[in-house]
Amino acid sequence: MSKMIIDGQRVDSSDGLVIDVICPSDGQVFTTIPRGTATDVDRAVNAARASLSGAWGKVPAFERGRLLMKLSQAVLDHLDELTDLEARDTGKPMAFARNDITVLARYFEFYGGGADKVHGQTIPFLNDYAVQVVREPLGVTAHILPWNYPAQMLGRSVAPALAMGNAVVVKPAEDACLSIIRVAELALEVGLPAGALNIVTGLGEEAGAALSTHPGINFISFTGSNEVGIHVQQAAAVNAVKCTLELGGKSAHVVFDDANMERAAVAISKGIVANTGQTCTAGSRVLVQRGCYDRFMKALEKEFSKKTAGTPEMDLDCGPLINEAQFKRVNRYIDLGAQEGLKVEIEGRVAEGVPPGGYFVRPMVFSAPRHESRLLTEEIFGPILVTVPFDTEAEAIELANATSYGLMAAVWSENGSRQTRVARGMQAGQVYINSFGAGGGVELPFGGVKHSGHGREKGFIALEEMSTVKTIIQYYG
Task: Residue 372: count other Cβ atoms within 10 Å of its Cβ.
Answer: 11
Residue 241: CA atoms inside 13 Å, Cβ hemisphere, count? Answer: 27
Complete DSSP assignment for 251-304: EEEEE-TTS-HHHHHHHHHHHHHGGGG--TT-EEEEEEEGGGHHHHHHHHHHHH
> Considering 174, 246, 379, 393, which one is annotated as catalytic?
246
Identify which of residues 312 and 453 has a Cβ nearer to ligand NAP in the complex. 453
Among 246, 303, 393, 465, binds ligand NAP (CB under 6 A): 246
Binding mask 87-126 for ligand NAP (x = CB under 6 A): ----------------------------------------
User: Maximum distance among all alpha carbons in the chain?
Assistant: 82
CA distance 284 to 383: 8
Helix (H, G, I), strand (E, B) or coil at 137: strand
C-beta closer to ligand NAP: residue 110 or 390: 110
d(CA 293, CA 470): 56
CA gap 169, 186 in Å, rounded: 16
The contact mask relative to ligand NAP for 349-388 (x = CB under 6 A, - = no) is: ------------------------------x-x-------
Does position 204 bind ligand NAP by CB under 6 A? yes
**Helix locations, 192-225, DSSP H:** 209-212
Residue in 18, 76, 190, 203 binding ligand NAP, rule: CB under 6 A: 203
Task: Work out whether 249 is an interface residue with ligand NAP (CB under 6 A).
Answer: yes
Residue among 177, 280, 292, 318 flagged as catalytic: 280
Which strands, in side-by-side order, build the sheet including 219-223? 9-11, 4-6, 197-199, 167-171, 140-144, 219-223, 242-246, 453-454
Per-residue mark of binding to ligand NAP, 311-350 (x: CB under 6 A) = ----------------------------------------
Question: Cβ of residue 301: shortest distance to ligand NAP, in angstroms?
Answer: 27
* Residue among 52, 71, 142, 144 that touches ligand NAP (CB under 6 A): 144
Q: Is 246 a catalytic residue?
A: yes
CA 249 – CA 268 distance, rounded (Å)? 16
| Gap between the Cα atoms of 108 and 94, Å rounded | 22
Which residues of this protein are in contact with Mg ion, per CB under 5 A?
A: 89, 175
x/- string (CB under 6 A) for ligand NAP, residues 156-195? ---------------x-xxx--------------------
Binding of ligand NAP at residue 212 (CB under 6 A)? yes
Binding residues (CB under 6 A) for ligand NAP: these are 144-148, 171, 173-175, 203-205, 208-209, 212, 223-225, 228, 231-232, 246-249, 280, 379, 381, 407, 448, 452-453
- Indicate which residues carry an active-site annotation: 246, 280
